[in-house]
């Protein structure tokens, strides 16, 4: 019985699944977007989002905690270049985002075997969706009435000498 077993096995052994997810996560971090099946994309999302959170925490912590997080991420990814990219450019870009670092967009079915295909991407690196949205300010507005309203002085018109009489 499979009670309480939440992750998708993807029809692979544990070692094959871990290696495949590590390779896909490295590709996602390096290229910022990859095409895969929907099931693999969902499994990859569960795999990579905690790693991105660890990279974000590293920039806000002391060096001891940062080194520990970097080693944990390296044990999962197994690629020095991907870890450097993750802790560098990716963590800077997603610094204030509270979660939800990836987006899955369904693309339709693959021609050969009719598998459901999807594109998984890092949210902050998509220029198409982020171009029309201005940067949000983190200011809060009160629900009460606005502040003092400044009244402008009334404009007084002066008569001119150009009148025809």
- pLDDT tens profile 75-98: 999 999 999 999 999 999 988 899
pLDDT digits (tens, 9 = 90+) for 123-140: 999 888 776 666 655 566
Q: Which of 45, 43, 30 is nearest to 125 (CA)?
A: 30
Distance CA 95, CA 138 (A): 14
Q: How far apart are CA 91 and CA 60, in angstroms?
A: 10
Output the pLDDT for position 59. Answer: 62
Q: What is the pLDDT of residues 134-157, one digit of tens each?
A: 665 556 666 676 666 666 767 777
- Chain-centroid distance of CA 147 in Å reads 36
* Sheet with 102-109, side-by-side order of all strands: 33-37, 116-122, 102-109
Long-range contacts of 13-19 (CB under 8 A, 24+ apart): 17/43
Which tokens hold the place of 86?
A: 């993750």
| pTM for the model | 0.76
Q: Are 93 and 87 in contact (CB under 8 A)?
A: no
Radius of gyration of the chain (CA): 26
Closest among 119, 73, 123 to 100, alpha carbons compared: 123
Task: Point out which residues pair with 120 in neighbouring strands.
Answer: 34, 104
């Amino acid at each position: 019985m499979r009670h309480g077993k939440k992750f998708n096995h993807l029809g692979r052994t544990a070692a094959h699944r871990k290696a495949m997810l590590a390779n896909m996560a490295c590709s996602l971090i390096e290229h910022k977007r990859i095409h895969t099946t929907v099931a693999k994309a969902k499994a990859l999302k569960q795999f990579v989002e905690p790693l991105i959170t660890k990279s974000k925490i590293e920039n806000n912590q002391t060096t001891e905690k940062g080194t520990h997080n970097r080693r944990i991420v390296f044990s999962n990814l197994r690629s020095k270049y991907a870890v450097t990219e993750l802790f560098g450019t990716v963590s800077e870009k997603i610094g204030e985002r509270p979660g939800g670092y990836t987006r899955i967009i369904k693309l339709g079915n693959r021609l050969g075997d009719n598998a459901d295909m999807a594109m998984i991407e890092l949210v902050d690196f998509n220029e198409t969706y982020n171009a029309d949205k201005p940067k949000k300010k983190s200011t809060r507005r009160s629900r009460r009435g606005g502040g003092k309203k400044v009244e402008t002085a009334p404009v007084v018109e002066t008569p001119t000498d150009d009148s025809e009489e």
